[in-house]
Structure 1
Amino acid sequence: MFFNQLGQYSSAIHYAEILKNSKPSKRNTCLANGLAIEAQLGLNQLEVDSPTLQAAVASCDEEVIMESFIHSFIATKYLRDGNTAEVYDQLKPSLETIEKTRYPRLIAEVYATLASAYLQDHKIGEARLLAEKIVNLAKGLGNTQAVVTAYKVLYQIAELSGNYKAALDYHVKYAQADKAYLDDIKTKHLAFQLAEHQAAEQKSRITLLDRQNNLLLTEQQLAKTQAENNRLFISLLIAIITLLGFWAYKSWTIQKRLKQLAEYDALTHVFNRGHFTQVAQSALTYCESSEVDLSYILFDLDNFKQINDKYGHACGDWVLKKVAKACQAQGRKNDIFARIGGEEFCIALPGCDLQTAVKLAEACRKAISGIDCSATGHEFEVTASFGITDTQMSGYKLERLINDADSAMYQSKETGRDRICIFDPEAKRTIPQASHTLLSL
């Protein structure tokens, strides 16, 4: 399992064969067969017509999860070969059983394979449904290939249907998920390479100690040679220590960089969506236990696509950075500010009531509309539409806060843009705020 996760499939097959040759229990035989099949798939060596494969499936007749994983591996092989009919034959008969296992990784992988097959067959509705189910499972999965595939399918569906805004949003999420997944793989590879280096270093030390012992045994006959070898040993030891120090520093800098990439948006240097979710969830938990309010502001730049299309993406990136800097200057140090989409930003305000949140949103709206764009060489205005809610109206669930603020933000868009709207849970609508004045709450 360890080597499969690292992508070291040859080593995974080697240890699976050792396990199978050790007369294991029936359960361990099933696990060894399943992990070997996963490695063969990774090496593109899986033969779906092999009698060995059928025997492996039969060995897992009492292990539902691993048997289902094997069917998933076989279906993935058929999908790579473009044989979608066999994909359905492998997965659809046992789909209900797979869902009953409540095992997120298995369910997500099966959904991802089926969604890709449906998309190949132009069954758009089925593909979208399964991809959305994977997205709903994403919080419990971490960074996996299934989540990457889901966003890719949703992006391609939106593009095929001509919904380019949704396609852009899903493409951003696909790129973020793919990057996070690749970052995880790189981190694992780095750890594996460091372990290999440490093993080689240990072997080198043992060799040097053996040599030193031999020299001590012949001390009287080789006194002069011993002194020269000791000097050589010290030089080698210094070189090894220097090398270890270099690797330790290199590892520290890489980890620091990986952490920054994982937590911050590369363009605006504010929190990205994934890290914002973690920090905001922690803040909500604290506020709920302490019985204090938390307000949530969501805003989206108006007509941003027109800026990109007319003046270029470099100009659009300049606007995003200026907006982030302008809004950061308005808030408190403990406010949680993030870019969660292409031109979409949010601010979580722990310990802040709704009236204060409205004042901050108005300050941000004015700061954005006051951005001087002449430095770009073009003349245009930058405005944003805001939606606001708090825990008294939307509760302490982050998803509900986001949805309610999103509804309020779209009300701002619909009522003229460059304004603020507050979510109203009683009227099932939002309360619009005048674009240049704050209404009393």
Structure 2
Amino acid sequence: MLKALNRLLCSTLFIFCAAVSADDVSADDIDQKLDLLDVSILKDIDTSSASINELFGLFDSLSRAQKIRLYIFESVRLILAGKYESALQTLDKTLLLNPNDEQLTNIYAYKISASIPLKRYEDAFSLLEKSLARIDSFQDNSIKISSYVRLMNTYLDLDKYDEVLRLSKIVFMLNKGQDSKSHCYAMVLTSAAQLSLNQIPYLEQLQLFADTQDYCQQNNFPLIAAMAIKGKAIVEFEHHHYQTAEVLFLKALAAYQPFNFELEINNIYAYLSEVYFQLQQFQQAVEYAELVDKLTNEPNNYKAKQRAYNVLSMVASKRGQFKVAYQYHVQAHAIGMLLINDKKVKETAYQVAKFDNAEKTRQLNKLAQDQEMLAKERSIMNNEKSASFMFSTVLTGTVAFLSLLLATAWMQRNQFRKQAQIDLLTGLLNRGTGEEKAEDEFVQVLARGGQYSVIVIDLDFFKQINDTFGHGTGDWALKKVAEVITANTRSTDIVSRMGGEEFAIFMPFTTIELAVELAKKIRFDIESIDTRFSGHQFTITASFGVSQITADDLSLDPIINRADTALYKAKSEGRNKVVYLS
């Protein structure tokens, strides 16, 4: 959602300056220009681009430290322009110049920011691990604060919102408002994480972004203030306040345009297309959606293009252009599948990185213990070397062969285990896996005294859809409902297909108020599914039962049972509604 706020992009502006002789510029003058760049790079892109180009004209006369700083600013400009590969190449050049601790922290952070859009998640997590390992060694508090802010940005890119909030507490505690830039960044990243987690009420979400906007404007950080304005717009959009959202999106758009902040500009175009569709202003909706349609098919454009194609499909359907509507729908669906797969790949890479890190720690500890044993055994092994050579050779070959067999079996086991955990039709977790993961999270919630809510969803009259239109159409409906649920849930929620037409959402550390609000949003979106693309015309509705943890609950079962009771109540009261029991 707001993770695009942190991948700063803008189009490259080549501003040619009058030639300046290196003899006319002192080292102090160059340092001053670099200091000004540090302030202006996210405030005045025109001036910054001109300064970068001018300094590259003096490159041979720069010191090593000055070259490093210039390369870093150039990499920022390339990231802003969406030229991630070039940014990585530029950052690699800085590593050859022996950067200091603070520079290395920034280099790693920007390499992570450039790696994620290129889907190089393993590289990103490896750099993240290096960054985390270095922070405690820093003596300079300002470097620590800057490093934590960079890590907040990285975790937001990786959808790890709880980690963002955890680090934000550290940043605010260490900084105490002294460094306004770090404070401003931390505020907007915290607001973005809270929005994505959706664990606080609507008015509190708005206030977080409003406070961020005020603080960043007062301290002259207009780009971050623009991010806060966009955050407010998304909050209003998510709560269906489309007229207010329109005003805020246009205001954010005007704030981004001086920076040529293309990713955010395109993202706002996509939002505006849907806003205007909801306001029944179809021509404006199409104009904004077509601007997004012209973008290249690169991963960083997928979300905006999916939204735009859905709008173009809905407008075409309203106009009776059903063939065109179907074509746009197919495109939106294809991008949606790419986004779902990308999310799975990202999560897998994150879990592998966590496992690798734990395994490395274990191996290092074991290595330290083994070294003493090896030293004692070395003299004995030397004496027996000749006699045991043949045995060692055979043993090594046997171990290698067995290791290969075990590795193959392990890979097959993991593959089969993953297949066994997923419902093949919808791509969601199956009932057994979903309940197992949900129970594990319940234990964590119970240990910390937190909230836990469960939403149970059952499609209304689903048998009639199968009987009337066939099981192929029923499968289509189930997949569309799964897409709606996935699009509305957070990375911390556990979504499972419980069987047939029943789904469940397990929401650790979530109040029933927020769960009910989410259920109402999903109910609305399911009812809004355009079924013409299935080849038939019908309406999909669902009934919802919501429940939360109580002081007497020692397992997940009572919460699920109460949610089921609420679901049956929703069915008996006419269906297509949300009922909750605390």
- TM tier, shorter chain? 0.3 to 0.5
Q: TM-score, normalised on structure 1?
A: 0.47
After TM superposition, the score normalised by the length of structure 2 is 0.36
* Larger Rg belongs to: 1
